[in-house]
Structure 1
Amino acid sequence: MSVIKEFFKKKKLESKFKLAGPGHTMTSSSSSTSATNKMVKTAGPSHSRLAPSEGSKRAGAAALARFEQNLKQQEPNWSLAAIRAQARKELELELEAQKRSKDGGPEEVSQEAAPLLAVSGVYYSCPLIGPEVLSKQAIEDKIKNFLYEQLSEERGLTSCLIIHTCNQNKAQISLGIETLSKYLTNIIENPTEEKYQKIRLSNKVFQERIAGLEGALEFLMACGFEQQKLPHGNGEEDFLVFQKDKLEDLETLRMLKDALQTSEAIVPELDRGLRVLMPSQAAAMVNLPDDFFSLSKDEIKREQELRERQVELNQQLRTRSMKERDEVKELRKYKFTLIRIRFPDGILLQGTFSVMEWLRDVKYFITENLNDPSKEFELLSPGGQKLTKDEERLLDLHLVPAVILHFRFTEQLEGKHIQEDSFLKPEVMALLQYI
C-alpha cells in the first residue's frame, strides 16, 4: 500500500477516535481516570505524535550509553547526583545575588546578544516524509517534492493533497475545490450528457479558478480527463475530455470528490528545539534569531525609532484600555516564544513555541519529558502567579517573547516530601549542555 493511502487511512482512524470520545479501561468505571489520563486531557496537543519503534528505542539507548561513556571520560564525576549538586550550588549563588540586589523582582529574560545562543533558529519536521528537522522553507520544499514523487504511484489522492498543501491563497483553494467538485457532480448525476464531459481550457471560469491552482490539472487527469484538440468556432482548441470507459466506474469519481473536499494540507510541525540547561546557562543573555519576529530588521528599526513617541504617550493621561492595546500591539511583533521551565533542582527545560499555541501545549511538552509523567504539577509565572488557563494562548498570557516558568508538583502543596533523583527522563538529562 502506498504512503499516501496509508496517510489517508490513518487520518480516517484518527477522526473516528475523536468522535468516539475518551476511552476507558475494561477494569475501571467510566468516571474513574488515572493521573496520567488527567494530564493528557488537560495538556494534550491538537496533534498526536508517533511512538518510537523498538529499533528506534534500541538505537536511542545505544546513543545514550555512548554519550554517557564519552562524557565520563571528559568529566569523571559526571552523574545525575553531581548535576543536581552543581545546579543547587548555582541556585544558591543566584538567590544570594538576588537578596543583595535592591530590586530583586520577578525573573526576566534579557534579549541582548550573547556568545551562548539560546536558540539558533526556528525549525520544523514532518513525520510523513521522515525524521529530518529543517527550516520552514526547506521542510515545505521537501513536502512538495515528496508529494510530486508520489504522483506516479497514487495520482488521485496525492493531487488532492497537492491542491491543499502547495497553494497559499485559501480563497483560491476553496473556489477551485468548489469548481472541481461541480465538474465531477455534473458527470456523476448526468453520465449520458456529453456537454459535461468536456472542459475548454480557454474557458473564463477554468482560467480564473483552475488554471493557476497547483495540482488541479493532475487531479482532473486522475479522474479520467485527457487533453485533446477539438473543433471549436472556426478552428481547434484544447479541451479536457472525460474518457467514456471511466463512466463505468462512477464510484471512483465519488471517492475522489470526497477526498478532494475532506483532505487537509500537510502542515510541518514546529520542532521544540529541546534543550536542558544549568542555572548559570539560563542566566546568560538570550539572543533571539530573526525567525522569532514577524517584522523584518528594517521594520524593527522603524519601530525602535517610534519609541520616543511612545515615551511621550506614556507621560500623558491615558486609560487602562489604551495601555493594554499598545501592549498587545508590541507583543504581536513576535511569532514565536522561548519557554524555559525551571525545576526545583535548578535544571531548566527549554522549548520553542508559537505565540498562538496554548498553555496546555507547554504542559504537554513538560509531561513528555518528565521522569514520572503520572504526577500532577502546576506552573508559576515569573511573578509567582499560578497559571491555570490551559485553553489560553501564550500571547494572551504575555508569555512572550522569552520567559522562565517555575515547576512544582501538586503533592508539594499538600505538604508531602518528594524525593527525586531527577525530574526529567535520563535520556533528556543526557542532553544537558555544559558551557
Structure 2
Amino acid sequence: MSKIKKFFSRKKEEAAAFKQKLTGSGMGEGHKLNAPKPEQAAPSGSGSRKKYDAYVPPKRNELSNEARQAANAALARIDKKTSRDFNTSLSAVKAQAKRELEAERRQKEEQLASAEASASNVRCTGGENRNLACEGVFFRCPMISDEILPKAAWKAKIKDFLYQQLEEDRGLTACLIIHNCNVKEKADDCIATLIRYLENLINSPTEEKFCKIRMSNKIFSDKVRYVEGALDVLQAAGFSEVQIDGEPFLLWTREQTEEDLDLPTLVEALKNSETIPLELDRNIKVLLPSQARRVILPDDFYRLSPEEIKKEQQLRSEAIAQAQMLRTKAMREREEQRNLRMYRYALVRVKFPNGLFIQGTFNVFEKITDVFEFVQSCLADESLDFTLVATSEGKLSDEDLEKSLFDCKLIPSTLLLFRANGVSAVGQTELNYLKEELLMLVEAM
C-alpha cells in the first residue's frame, strides 16, 4: 500500500473510532460507584503525576567506540581557554559546571536582569550579529522521511513528494496537493466546488449539464482552474479537456475514471484530506551556565515580522503618550495578552542542580505535561521522581499539568529549575542527570 493510501486509511480509522466513541459502544466496561477503577494505581510520593513516555526523541543507535571518542572530543572543546589537555571524564565535566555555577551565583541579580532585558530589545531593533539561543524552529515529518528541517524546507519537500506520487495515485494525491500547495482559503473554496461537481454526477450521472464544465465559467475560473491539484482531481474523476464549438470544456465519461477509484471515494477523500502534519522537533541543546545567560530568539518564534513588531510598539508608545493617564489593571492585562500573542513558539530551559541546562522548543499551546515528558525523556534514570519550579510562577503543581505554556505565561522563553524528590541538597549537586548520549550535545564555548 502506498504512503498516500496509508494516510487516508488512517484517517478513515480515526473517524470510525471517533464515531464509535460518540455512539457509546466504545466507552469500556462499567463499574460500581464505590468500587475503585481497576486501572487506578496508588499515587506516588510526588502526587498523582504519572511517568511520561509520550515524547520520543529521534532514535539513536547505541554508542560505538568511535561515537564515544567523538563525544569526548566535543566535551574537550568546552575548555578552549586552557592550554593543557582537557579531561573528558564525567567528573571533569561536573567540576567545570560547578565552577561556572559558582561564578554565576556571584553575579548580581540586577546585572543579570539588565542583560536579559537588553537581549530582548535587540530582537525588536533588528540588531546584527545576534548571539541567538537557537538556530531556528525545526520539524519532522514521519510520513515522508526522518529528516529534521525548517518549516519552509518541509513545505518544498512535501510538494515534491506529492507530485512524485501523482502518477501512482492521482485522485488521492491531488486531494492532498490542494490542501498542501495552496493557501487555506483558496483550497477550501476549491474543495467545496469540486465536491458539488462530483456529487451532482453521483446523484444524476445521466444529466448532460453535469457531465461537462465550461472552462471559461467564472466560478470554475475563480475557484478551481488555477488551484494546484484541482484539475488532477477532475482528471482522476473521469473528466478530459475537449473543444465544443471552439470553446474549451471538461467532459466526463465513466470509462475515463481512474482505475480502482470511484466518485464517492474521491468525494470522501476531498472531505478528509488535510495538510500533511509536521511534528515540532525539540531541537535539544545541553548548555553550561556560561552559555545559558542570554536568551535572544530567532525570527521563527514570532508571528509578526521584525518590522511589524517595531511598528506596533511605536504605535503603542504614541497611544500611551497621547492618553496621558494611568492604566487600569484591565488595561495592563490586555496589553500583556497582546504581547503574548506575538509568539508562536517558546524556548524552555531546564536547569539541573549540577549546573547543566537542557533546552527545547515548544509550541506556545503545548501543555505543561509535555514539558515534564520532555525532561523525563532526557534523564539517565527515567524513573527518577522530580518536580519543576518556574522562576516566575513557583512550583508547577498537578493542577498546572493540563495548562498550556501560554496560560502559565511561560513564553517566549522560560527557565525551570529541576528538583529530584527525595534527594538531599548535597546529593542533588552530585547526581548525573542526563543520558550519556546527550553529553555529546554540549556546545563548544
* Range of TM-score over shorter length: 0.7 to 0.9
The residue correspondences of 1:51-90 to structure 2 (distance < 5 A) are 52=59, 57=61, 61=64, 64-71=67-74, 76-90=86-100
Deviations 1:84-139 (A, max 9, x none): 232233223323435xx579989967435787431122333322232333333222
Structure 1 343/224 Cα, relative in aligned 2: closer, same or farther at 3 Å?
Answer: same
* 1:166 pairs with 2:178: no
Q: How far 1:147 moved relative to its partner?
A: 0.8
**Partners of 2:238 and 2:311 in 1: how far apart?**
55
Q: In structure 1, the residue corresponding to 2:225 is in which secondary structure?
A: coil
Structure 1 50/275 Cα, relative in aligned 2: closer, same or farther at 3 Å?
Answer: closer
Q: How far 1:148 moved relative to its partner?
A: 0.8
Q: Structure 1 stretches of 5 or more lacking a match? A: none
The equivalent residue for 1:141 is 156
CA contact (8 A) 2:75 2:444 kept: no
Once superposed, which parts of structure 1, at least 4 consecutive aligned residues long, lie more than 4 Å away? 10-23, 33-37, 60-63, 71-76, 101-110, 112-116, 246-251, 306-315, 410-413, 415-421
Structure 1 11/32 Cα, relative in aligned 2: closer, same or farther at 3 Å?
Answer: farther
**Partners of 1:132 and 1:15 in 2: how far apart?**
29
The residue correspondences of 1:259-338 to structure 2 (distance < 5 A) are 259-283=269-293, 285-306=294-315, 308-309=317-318, 312=321, 316-338=325-347
**Partners of 1:107 and 1:38 in 2: how far apart?**
38
**Partners of 2:257 and 2:130 in 1: how far apart?**
67
**Partners of 2:258 and 2:236 in 1: how far apart?**
15
Q: In structure 2, the residue corresponding to 1:210 is in which secondary structure?
A: helix
Q: How far 1:412 moved relative to its partner?
A: 5.2
Q: How far 1:305 moved relative to its partner?
A: 3.8
Q: Structure 2 stretches of 5 or more lacking a match? A: 29-36, 78-84
Structure 1 353/72 Cα, relative in aligned 2: closer, same or farther at 3 Å?
Answer: closer
Select 1:395's aligned residue among 401, 406, 413.
406
The residue correspondences of 1:361-380 to structure 2 (distance < 5 A) are 361-380=370-389
Structure 1 169/244 Cα, relative in aligned 2: closer, same or farther at 3 Å?
Answer: closer
Select 1:407's aligned residue among 418, 421, 425.
418
CA contact (8 A) 1:108 1:403 kept: no
Aligned residue pairs total 414
The equivalent residue for 2:169 is 154
Select 2:139's aligned residue among 110, 113, 124.
124
Structure 1 384/184 Cα, relative in aligned 2: closer, same or farther at 3 Å?
Answer: closer
Q: How far 1:182 moved relative to its partner?
A: 2.2
* 1:217 pairs with 2:228: no
| Cα root mean square deviation, aligned | 3.9
Structure 1 297/117 Cα, relative in aligned 2: closer, same or farther at 3 Å?
Answer: closer
Q: How far 1:264 moved relative to its partner?
A: 1.6
**Partners of 2:213 and 2:416 in 1: how far apart?**
60
Q: In structure 1, the residue corresponding to 2:415 is in which secondary structure?
A: strand
**Partners of 1:118 and 1:279 in 2: how far apart?**
13
The equivalent residue for 2:34 is none
TM-score under structure 1 length normalisation: 0.80
Q: How far 1:376 moved relative to its partner?
A: 4.2
Q: How far 1:327 moved relative to its partner?
A: 1.5
* 1:191 pairs with 2:191: no
Q: What amino acid does structure 2 have at the position aligned with 1:223? A: A
CA contact (8 A) 2:75 2:440 kept: no
